[in-house]
Amino acid sequence: MDLHVVILAAGKGSRMKSSIPKVLHPLAGKPMLERVLDTATGLSPKALHVVIGHEADQIRTAFLDQSINWHEQLEQLGTGHAVAQAAPTIPDDATVLVLYGDVPLIRAESLKRLIALVDNETLGLLTVELNDPSGYGRIIRNAADEIVAIVEQKDANSDQLAVTEVNTGIMCVRGSNLNAWLPQLSNKNAQGEYYLTDLVELAVNQGNEVEAEQPDSIEEVQGVNDRLQLCELECWYQSQQAEQLLLAGVSLFDPNRIDIRGSLAAGIDVVIDLNCIFEGHVALGDGAKIGANCIIINSTIGPGTIVKPNSIIEDSIVGSGAVIGPFARLRPATILKDNTKIGNFVETKKCEIGRGSKVNHLSYIGDAIIGENSNIGAGTITCNYDGVNKFKTEIGDGVFIGSNSSLVAPVVIRDNATVGAGSVITKPVEPNQLAVARARQTNISGWTKPVKK
């Protein structure tokens, strides 16, 4: 049976108080709607439909690279009306799953259980028990415990309001039934809306069954209406990830002070100090230690490597046994081989630094390749840019660069060469040579010091 997923995202989201559409607000670094789309994609649907209305263009342009059937709901006349925008393109023999762009943490496992309930005579609902059901549609069951209706809070009597089983909004139904029942919805209710939830009563009245499944956790079906709810879900999601890391053998000093906006693969005996942020795909080898306040983005850190506090690493690959930071910045396309050292206030970019080489203090290394066991002195700068073009610096094995040197690229410094401190190197330095390129010191005797005017 082909699966068609319909994601509702036409609502205004005014409680976010934002110029950004609600469903584009990120949770753990990813827009809410993208999370729902990713989860839906995991179910291998035949088609993905998204119903948009408010800020339709902004939402559409955020997903240009995906094959999505967009449906514009010009007036928001209710959830039933919203699904009706997509329905004409959904075949009768499809299974239709309705999701919400502002319910970001729904999991595929729960949805698979829901989809499994549905056949030609059965409509499936995802429901939850809530201590405080206020605001939600209530699930009404008969004496035989069969679901017979959903009553919205605003339409409910006092008996119905006492019901604690609520509608999550997530529903699954056969295409033929959806197409038959949607035109039968009316808006004669407290809110004057076409309620998708009224499909339940229609189904039952026409001799069908309604069955319910429950998600593994309440947070999966929690909707976001304001930034407080978004923040609460973010915190819950982060705490789940922290828990998984701890159980997988990673030490965290405080599980409330780590943020993973993407995926973090960590070996055993990894230690992560407070307030670290991981973005995109990050891998940490066995025994790696990440100091406080580090930000690591799309990078691999090898086994036993120590990243000291306040370092930022992006799109980089670091080998084993390296020591980085504190206050180091590895910019994209940095490759550090095993046992390298990058010290404080060192910036690297598009460079490869060979095994055992050290750049310990206050340097910029960009568009460079450095061999093994070389020592780059404090304040060394690779002058890689002439204002228009970028040029490469090549440094061999066993090289010693004296402090405060400028290496004007393109330039080559071959194996075991030495550069004297304060040099401006513009020409190749051959193996084993000492290059000194600086104005010679002149001492002037009897110098009269300036006086204050």
Catalytic (active-site) positions: 361
d(CA 394, CA 385): 15
* Interface with ligand UD1 (CB under 6 A), residue from 45, 48, 79, 414: 79
| Nearest distance in Å: CB 276, Ca ion | 34
| Nearest distance in Å: CB 146, ligand UD1 | 18
| Nearest distance in Å: CB 317, ligand UD1 | 41
Query: Which partner, Ca ion, ligand UD1, none, binds residue 266 by CB below 5 to 8 Å per kind?
Result: none
Query: Which partner, Ca ion, ligand UD1, none, binds residue 175 by CB below 5 to 8 Å per kind?
Result: none
Q: Stretches 35-43, 73-81, 327-335, 360-368: which one binds ligand UD1 (CB under 6 A)?
A: 73-81
| Nearest distance in Å: CB 86, ligand UD1 | 10
Q: Stretches 27-35, 110-118, 125-133, 217-225: which one binds Ca ion (CB under 5 A)?
A: 217-225
Q: Stretches 41-49, 166-174, 245-253, 423-431: which one binds ligand UD1 (CB under 6 A)?
A: 166-174
* Interface with Ca ion (CB under 5 A), residue from 13, 45, 223, 304: 223
Q: Stretches 8-16, 204-212, 284-292, 356-364: which one binds ligand UD1 (CB under 6 A)?
A: 8-16
Answer yes or no whether residue 9 interacts with ligand UD1 by CB under 6 A: yes
| Nearest distance in Å: CB 77, ligand UD1 | 5
Pick 130 or 317: Cβ nearer Ca ion = 130
Answer yes or no whether residue 4 interacts with ligand UD1 by CB under 6 A: no
Contact positions with ligand UD1 (CB under 6 A) in 180-209: 195-197
| Nearest distance in Å: CB 51, Ca ion | 14
Answer yes or no whether residue 150 interacts with ligand UD1 by CB under 6 A: yes
Size of the site for ligand UD1 (CB under 6 A): 27
Binding mask 90-129 for ligand UD1 (x = CB under 6 A): ----------xxx---------------------------
| Residues found near ligand UD1 in the complex (CB under 6 A) | 8-11, 51, 73, 76-79, 81-82, 100-102, 136-137, 150, 152, 166-169, 195-197, 223
